[in-house]
Each structure stands twice: as structure tokens, then as C-alpha cells.
Chains A and B, each alone.
Chain A
């Protein structure tokens, strides 16, 4: 925690009563800790994006192109004609306010422009002014605003203060999805070169090397080899982890954090051990070495540009189908965009589990299966020997990540796996999980350190619910299936709820998994000794 970070007591001094009369004044103060730095010119150049230059949001001069206003308005018109969602959401909001207190950034900051309805009004006001008659005639009286530099700066501030989590859209009577509005808003900002480094540097890396971290093929191989060695130390079993192997049955795609960050890494160990145990014929790709896609936080075109390699590599390697690891926004792209953008995947087969023979008809077109779906099927068919007592030291809660929950509906599989591998599982309150889950506050590319105060604020509603189960049930582990969660929730929880760690589902699977051969295991995947309780624990029995 940086020294300047305010105390939790300070951050919870939130006032929900707006001070201003209305939201028309666009002026924004770029206060330290509440915004992200601009993207470096080299990233923009690498991607052929417009207006690469040195600038920062807190500078007075943003060095916009001279015709920036025309570019934005032309861009709006173009998108109004291409996205029914955008046009409709500009037209039909009645400002009922049901979404107002559903946004984690509003709940954590009290800034009224973080109410989803107002966030959308920031762009809707410009739509009114330039695309509707009433707005042209009556201007600010009917909430129509001129597009000025201040408005553009306000867009930047608030569209990079939305994590595209879609929670508000669950509550909207018309299904207006602020994520959709923010995505378009960011596309427009990108047209004049107003982007943030924490998004564009990963995008540029990903485009060139295949993954956000810029890991090159030898580095990728080193990381996987290191994991293999580590697994041997823990289990005594030497496994294989093929890379770029032609003719494998399955291509396995993970978010790059899985092989380069902690605690993601333990999840990777879990996958590897599982695949070894069931004898899966799979391969990694050192080029499709990233399932995550920060293009989602840039523009629809960028999603497609980065996603193309997944099918391309599946085709080149001649696999039958694709399996994907634990990641949130990656699965938004894979579930809702990939097939449309880069399909049809007619060179693949409908996925069939080689172990159980289960045909994953739910992926009949996209032909990509989520690892939790795959493993849940294994457990259901009793193909794994699991010892849940090995996870006895964890009192687990499950944090639904935004995208698997609200853009996919992957709710039960991870819970099923937790119940099969752990003996202490406690849900957070109902309105903070499943489709009503709260974002970690750092999604959509906002997980950077200079934005820490805003992240802590945005993460407060999630942490508040974790604190509830921590105090009530002694929960000490938050399980999740999102790489951004795994990266950003540890510092968040350390700040708000010390004593709760973060792990992936397949770390828990890897802990509980009894593998053939090898020696008697005494430690979990983190290298810590198992702390088993007496078999007849006083509370829940094994749920598997």
C-alpha cells in the first residue's frame, strides 16, 4: 500500500446525497489515485492507432487532433448506425434511477456521475445535442450539451471509471447495459488517442507476442517448465506439458497471468496436475498464449484483432476443440464475441470429453469449453479421486466474476467444484453473488497502481460482503475464476478485510486431487502443509 493511500475510515466517509444540482457541468478534477495514466505513444504506434503523443490526463492540453470534434461526432454517427444497443440505449432511458445505487464505483465513491444512468447521460447529452431535434433547439434546458474538451475529459474520467461489469443492466427495466455504453465511449475516445496505458500496453504486447505481458516463446516455455518442476517437487510425479504440439486433441488457452503471477500460478499447477491425472492429450500454444483480451476494453475492432489467433492456432495445430482456463473478461469474449468475429470454427469438432465421453452440446458452434464445465463433468462421473480434507484450512467463499456471471451464466459449475474439493463453503449475501455479484473494482483495465484509491473504493462493496462472511463464518479464502480478480483482490482484501486470501478453483482441485504414483503428499500447491481436521468435522459434511 502506498503511503498516500487514505485509511479505510476515510474512504468510507461516503455521502450519497449529491452536492451539485445537476450533472451538466463537465468539469473534472484529475485527482491523484482516481484515474489512470495515458497510453505511451509506442503502444499506439505498434497498433496503428491514431494520435500517438506524450500527454497526461492532468495536463491542461491533451494535444487533440485539430478536427477532434468532427472525428468524435462522425464516430458516434457511425456507431449509432452499426449498434442497435447503442442507439436504443441512447433513446429509451427514462431516468427512473433503479440503477443508481447498483454501481460499485458509486457505492464506493458517492460521486453522482458514477450512477450508471448519469454515466450514460454524459454521452447521451451529446447525442441529444447533435442527433435529436429537441436537443438542437433547446440545448441544456433538455439536457443536451455541446461537445467540448471538458466534456471529452469528463468522458475519459468516467468511462475509465466503469469496469463494464453489467451489474446495472441486471436491474434496468429495459436492460440498458452501461458496459455497452462505456465500450462505445472508449471506442470514441480511442479515435482521438485518449486511451490508458494499463490497457494499451497489454494490447500492444498481445498483438506482437501473443500475450499481455509480452512473454516471448522461450519465456513461455521456461514458465511452463518451471511449473512442471515445481509440481514434481510437491507431488513426486513428473508430468508433461506440451507446447505447440501438432495433432494434439485439445488446445488449452489460459490468461497469461496464470503462468506469470501469483496466486494465479497455483491454479496453473492445478490444471497441469489434473491433465496429467486424466491423461489428457492437449497442447498449449506459445502464440495463443493469452486468452484474455484487453481489446474488449479498447474497441470492438481490437477484440477481433487480438482474438483471431485463438482459432488460427487451433487450425494450425490441428486440434479437435479448445479448452479455456479461468478468466473473466476472456470468457466474455470467447462466449459472446469470438464465434461471431472470427468463426465459423467449422475446422473443429463439437467438444467431447475424452475421459467421460460427454458431448458439450452447449458449445456446438464455438467449440470451446470452460475448464470448470470440463472438470465438473469429470467429478460428476467420478473420474477423479478427491480428498477434500486437504483443503480443510480454508473456509471458502465464492466470488462470482462479472463476466462469467452476467455475460455467460456460469454460476453452478464452480460451486459444484468447491463443494467437491472443500468442506467449508459459505456463500456471501444473496444480493452480492451470482448475477448480482459485485465487481472487484479493477476490471476492464483499471487495475493499475496510480488508480489505487478508485480501485479500493470500487472494490468496497465486494469487500464489505466478504467481511460479512469473514466475521460470521471465519471465511479465510475467496475463490474465483478470473485472472483480474486474482491479481487485484489480494491487495483489496488486505486493505479492507485482512486475513482473507484469494485462490482459483483449480488450485482447490489440485490440492484435493489424489494422483496415481508419486509419493504421499503433505503440502498443498502453495507448498504449505495440509491442516486436516478430524474426519467428522462439526459442520457441513462433504457435499460432492
Chain B
């Protein structure tokens, strides 16, 4: 149901964009107003969101330690997984953000279908439990990590490649990225690896939500929506690059117009491009209000970006307030006779 509804929603967006790109009077709305508004919403919305997080205090230093703490000099401490220096925290965060370190740990647990009895007596003659029980076994599970990594990195590369549409002349490094991306020189126009990776990764991420009963159970409408939106976005781009071949010069004129605040909508810009542009716009406008803000949020996660220096340096809680405690004096007053009888010292005899 969630999967279907969000597919319908994205389909409607595509249809709207197509109409917007086909009806002359709407072309400037979808070609100029919508993207401009989307960028504004993205910038303001994301800034507001991040500001809100940043202004919310971090009352306690709560790193999740994933390695040995720094204690005695002869014990090898894990400077990245349980960092006590700024460099350690930076590297830990970098591994998290650039390589998805934590996701890389992923395993998959399964219960054996049949009970497995103990494997008889061992070398030491110890008697193992005779009872055969089902067992938990764990396997490697790197697909999610791989797909996530493929998606995010490819998306970044594709984004950078797009700079050639909004910068004239395109910087050399953008051409270099494109050259590497098209390294295999397959077909005309040259096939970009990242296009294939993007579609494959998105396909996998969608499929696991649809097929795996557990992931389906916890997936919400917005989880599918984001995926369909991205698939639509990438799909329309791929369609234009490899199959439809719209007027790229006109598209670049429109894009340059947008970024130089001198918008124009050339007559030869294809409705296909309007679909692409509208989906980008929706993505941008949706971004700050959705789970996609994890892109910014990951940097602020207190279990990852704080050093495990809890006992070395004091962490101050800005709203630390006095609480009602039970004092020693109250305690002594209540138990005075018993303390005395037990022969323990008293403050007030």
C-alpha cells in the first residue's frame, strides 16, 4: 500500500512536469519558478533544520565506544573507534561519512531450522549440554553497505558531472571526472559507470523494501517516495543522455540562466527535461523536511562525534539544575542509633 501510494505520487509529479513542459504558458513556471523556489526552500529549510539541531544542547557526552578506551599507556587503545583526540574523532567521523563504517559492520542473524545437538564430548572430557536446540548463526551481510556506498558516491559524481551544465566553460576537473566515469568507453554516447551503479543501487534498495518481509514491515510511505523520486530523477536523466537526446545546448542555456539569475526558457527544451528538472526540484524542496536530512544530521550525532574523554575532561551541561538529594546529615539523623550501635563514626555524636 505504502509502496503503491508513493509510486502514484511520483507518477503524478512526472505527469505534472510533462504537462508543465508541454503547455507553453506553464513552461516558465516549471522551468524557472519551481526550481528557483525549490532551491530557496532547500537552502532555508536545511539551514533552519541544522540551526535547530545545533542550538539544541548536548547535555551529556555519550559516545558509543566501539574499541578500547585510552587508559594505561601499555594497553593499546583504539584511537579511532574510541577516540580521545580531535584527530581521532575527525577520522571516526570521516570513516562514517565517507565509507559508512558502522553499516560495514552489518551481519545477518538467522535461527537454524533444525535443532543441533552438541558435538559429543570434547577433548577435556567436559560434558556439553546434551539437549539439541536451534541455534543462532550469523552471516556476513555487506549488500546494504555496498548498495548504500554505490548510491551515495555515484550520486555525488553525477552531481559533480552536472556542473558542466551550469558553469561555462566547464572546469577541467569536471571533464576529468566525466572521463574517469566513462573510462570503459562503451557505446555512443559513452556509458557512465555511475549511471549504471545508481540505477542498480536504487533498484536493490527498493527491492529489499518490497521483498524482505521485515524491511517491508518497517517501511513507510516516505521511504518508498524517496526511492521512487530518485529512480524517476535518475531514470529521466539516463533516458535523456542515452535515448531521447534532447537539445543539450538549450538545456544548458536554461540552466545557466537559472544560476546567473537571468532565467530563460528556450523553446527547444524538451518536456523530458522538465520532468528531470521538476523531480530535482521536488527532491530539493522535500529534503529538509524528510529523512534525507540524515546527510546533515550524521555530522551532529552525539554518539559518534564526541570523544571518549569522559573522565579526562569535564563536559558541561548548560541546563544542569539543582535536584533534590538526600544528604549525609539526613541519613545520619535517621540512622544515628544504629550507626552508633554498629560502632561507626558519627559527625554529630
Residue interface mask B293-313, A partner, CB < 8 A = 1: 110011011111000101111
Out of A98, A112, A142, A336, which one reaches B60, CB within 8 Å?
A336
Residue interface mask B91-122, A partner, CB < 8 A = 1: 00000100010110111111100010011001
Out of A23, A101, A141, which one reaches B108, CB within 8 Å?
A101
CB neighbours (8 Å) of A87 from chain B are: 52-53, 56
A399 CB-CB contact with B under 8 Å: no
Tell me the count of chain B residues lying within 8 A, CB to CB, of chain A: 109
On whether the beta carbons of B217 and A20 are closer than 8 Å, the reply is yes
Residue interface mask A332-347, B partner, CB < 8 A = 1: 0001110111011000
**Interface residue SS majority, chain B:** loop
Out of A18, A94, A364, which one reaches B313, CB within 8 Å?
A364
* B197–chain A nearest beta-carbon distance, Å: 18
CB neighbours (8 Å) of A464 from chain B are: 135-136
On whether the beta carbons of A84 and B300 are closer than 8 Å, the reply is yes
Out of B49, B60, B82, B310, which one reaches A91, CB within 8 Å?
B49
| A175-B301, A304-B323, A412-B68 known; A22 vs B311 contact (CB < 8 Å) | no
Please measure, in the bound complex, the distance between the C-alpha atom of A271 and the C-alpha atom of B4, giving whole angstroms: 63
A146 CB-CB contact with B under 8 Å: no
On whether the beta carbons of A96 and B144 are closer than 8 Å, the reply is yes
On whether the beta carbons of B103 and A95 are closer than 8 Å, the reply is no
* A340–chain B nearest beta-carbon distance, Å: 5
* B76–chain A nearest beta-carbon distance, Å: 7
B195 CB-CB contact with A under 8 Å: no
Please measure, in the bound complex, the distance between the C-alpha atom of A121 and the C-alpha atom of B74, giving whole angstroms: 44
On whether the beta carbons of A177 and B303 are closer than 8 Å, the reply is yes
Give the contacts of B114-162 with A (CB-CB under 8 A).
115, 118-119, 122-129, 131, 133-136, 138, 144, 148
On whether the beta carbons of A91 and B344 are closer than 8 Å, the reply is no
Tell me the count of chain A residues lying within 8 A, CB to CB, of chain B: 131
Out of A358, A471, A496, which one reaches B128, CB within 8 Å?
A471
* B114–chain A nearest beta-carbon distance, Å: 11
On whether the beta carbons of A366 and B133 are closer than 8 Å, the reply is no
CB neighbours (8 Å) of B173 from chain A are: none
On whether the beta carbons of B339 and A173 are closer than 8 Å, the reply is no
On whether the beta carbons of A171 and B69 are closer than 8 Å, the reply is no
Please measure, in the bound complex, the distance between the C-alpha atom of A208 and the C-alpha atom of B317, giving whole angstroms: 27
* A369–chain B nearest beta-carbon distance, Å: 9
On whether the beta carbons of A470 and B297 are closer than 8 Å, the reply is no
On whether the beta carbons of A175 and B52 are closer than 8 Å, the reply is no
Please measure, in the bound complex, the distance between the C-alpha atom of A272 and the C-alpha atom of B52, giving whole angstroms: 52
On whether the beta carbons of B325 and A407 are closer than 8 Å, the reply is no
On whether the beta carbons of B74 and A470 are closer than 8 Å, the reply is no
Give the contacts of B63-84 with A (CB-CB under 8 A).
64-72, 74-78, 81-82
On whether the beta carbons of A376 and B72 are closer than 8 Å, the reply is yes
* A259–chain B nearest beta-carbon distance, Å: 14
On whether the beta carbons of B64 and A340 are closer than 8 Å, the reply is no
A169 CB-CB contact with B under 8 Å: yes
User: Which one of A51-59, A194-202, A216-224, A513-521 is at the B interface?
Assistant: A216-224
Out of B105, B106, B312, B341, which one reaches A362, CB within 8 Å?
B312
Chain A residue with the shortest CB-CB distance to B124: A474
| A48-B324, A85-B58, A309-B325 known; A23 vs B133 contact (CB < 8 Å) | no
On whether the beta carbons of B218 and A217 are closer than 8 Å, the reply is no
A150 CB-CB contact with B under 8 Å: no
* A461–chain B nearest beta-carbon distance, Å: 6
A427 CB-CB contact with B under 8 Å: no
A174 CB-CB contact with B under 8 Å: yes
On whether the beta carbons of A460 and B136 are closer than 8 Å, the reply is yes
CB neighbours (8 Å) of B298 from chain A are: 92, 173-175
On whether the beta carbons of A96 and B148 are closer than 8 Å, the reply is yes
Chain B residue with the shortest CB-CB distance to A335: B310
On whether the beta carbons of A100 and B218 are closer than 8 Å, the reply is yes
A326 CB-CB contact with B under 8 Å: no
Please measure, in the bound complex, the distance between the C-alpha atom of A207 and the C-alpha atom of B324, giving whole angstroms: 10
* A464–chain B nearest beta-carbon distance, Å: 5
Residue interface mask B1-32, A partner, CB < 8 A = 1: 11001000000000000000000000000000
Out of A12, A216, A243, which one reaches B335, CB within 8 Å?
A216
Residues in B lying within 8 Å of A, measured CB to CB: 1-2, 5, 49, 52-53, 56-62, 64-72, 74-78, 81-82, 96, 100, 102-103, 105-111, 115, 118-119, 122-129, 131, 133-136, 138, 144, 148, 212-215, 217-223, 289, 291, 293-294, 297-298, 300-304, 308, 310-317, 319-320, 323-328, 331, 334-335, 338-339, 341-345, 347
Provide a sorted-by-A list of 20 A–B residue pairs whose CB atoms are within 8 angstroms: A8-B131, A18-B217, A84-B53, A88-B301, A107-B109, A118-B218, A133-B289, A173-B100, A208-B331, A210-B331, A309-B326, A316-B328, A367-B311, A368-B311, A405-B65, A416-B75, A471-B119, A473-B124, A474-B122, A474-B123
Closest 5 CB pairs of A and B: A474-B126, A409-B69, A409-B65, A92-B297, A175-B303
